[in-house]
A and B are shown apart, each in its own frame.
Chain A
Amino acid sequence: MSGGVTTARERRARRAEERATAFSLMRNLALREIRAEYKRTVLGRVWSLLNPVAQIAIFSLVFGLLLRLPVPTGTNSEIHFFPLWIGIGVITWAYVSGSISGGMSSLLANQGLLTKVYFERSVLVVSSIVANTTTYLTELVVLVLITALIGGPAVLLYVPLLVPLLALTIAFVIGLSLMLSVALVYFRDLQHLWAIFTQIWMYASGVMFPVALVQQAQDQLASEGVLVDGQPLPLVTIFELNPTERILAAFRNIIYDYAVPSLDTWLYIGVWAFGLLVIGTLVFRRFSRNVVEEL
Chain B
Amino acid sequence: MTEPAIVVDGVSKSFRVYQERNQSIKAAVLRRGRSRYTDFHALQDVSFEIPKGSTFGLLGRNGSGKSTLLKVMARILNPDAGSITMDGRVAAMLEVGSGFHPELSGRENVYLNGAILGMRKDEIDAKFDRIVEFSGVGDFIDQPVKNYSSGMYVRLGFSVSIHVEPDILLVDEVLAVGDMDFQEKCMEKFAQFRDQGRTVVVVSHGLEQMRSFCDQAAWLDHGVVQDVGPARRIVDEYADSSHAAKPVDGGGMRFGTGEIAVERIELLARDGGDPDGLQTGDGMLMRAHYRAHETIERPVLGVSIGTREGIHVWGTHGFDAGWVPERIEPGTGTIDIRIDGLPLLPGMYDVSTVIQDFRRTVIYDSLQRGASFTLQRGERDNAGGIVALDVAFGGLDPEQPIVPLSRLR
Contact = CB atoms under 8 A, between A and B. Distances in A.
Interface string B326-348: 00000000000000000000000
Interface residues of B, number: 37
Interface string B1-30: 001100100000001100000011110100
A69 interface: no
A45 interface: no
A116 B94 contact: yes
B108 to A, nearest CB: 7
Given A2-B3, A118-B92, 19 more contacts: A4-B7, A4-B85, A21-B118, A24-B120, A28-B111, A29-B99, A31-B112, A32-B99, A39-B104, A40-B103, A113-B99, A113-B116, A116-B94, A117-B76, A117-B117, A119-B116, A189-B25, A290-B78, A293-B77
Contacts of A27: 115
Given A4-B85, A293-B77, A193 B25 contact: yes
Interface size class of A (residues with CB under 8 A): 35 or more
Interface string A184-219: 001111100100000000000000000000000000
B376 interface: no
Contacts of A115: 76
A71 B74 CA distance: 58
A215 B119 CA distance: 56
A188 B3 CA distance: 46
Contacts of A290: 78
Interface in A75-104: none
Interface string B139-180: 000001000000000000000000000000000000000000
B357 interface: no
B98 interface: yes
In terms of DSSP, what is the predominant structure of the interface of chain B? loop
Nearest to B115: A28
Contacts of A1: 87
Interface in A32-66: 32, 35-36, 39-40
Contacts of B4: 4
B101 interface: yes
A113 B99 CA distance: 6
Given A115-B76, A118-B75, A187-B24, A36 B103 contact: yes
A35 B103 CA distance: 9
A109 B398 CA distance: 85
Contacts of B25: 187, 189-190, 193
B161 to A, nearest CB: 10
A114 B120 CA distance: 19
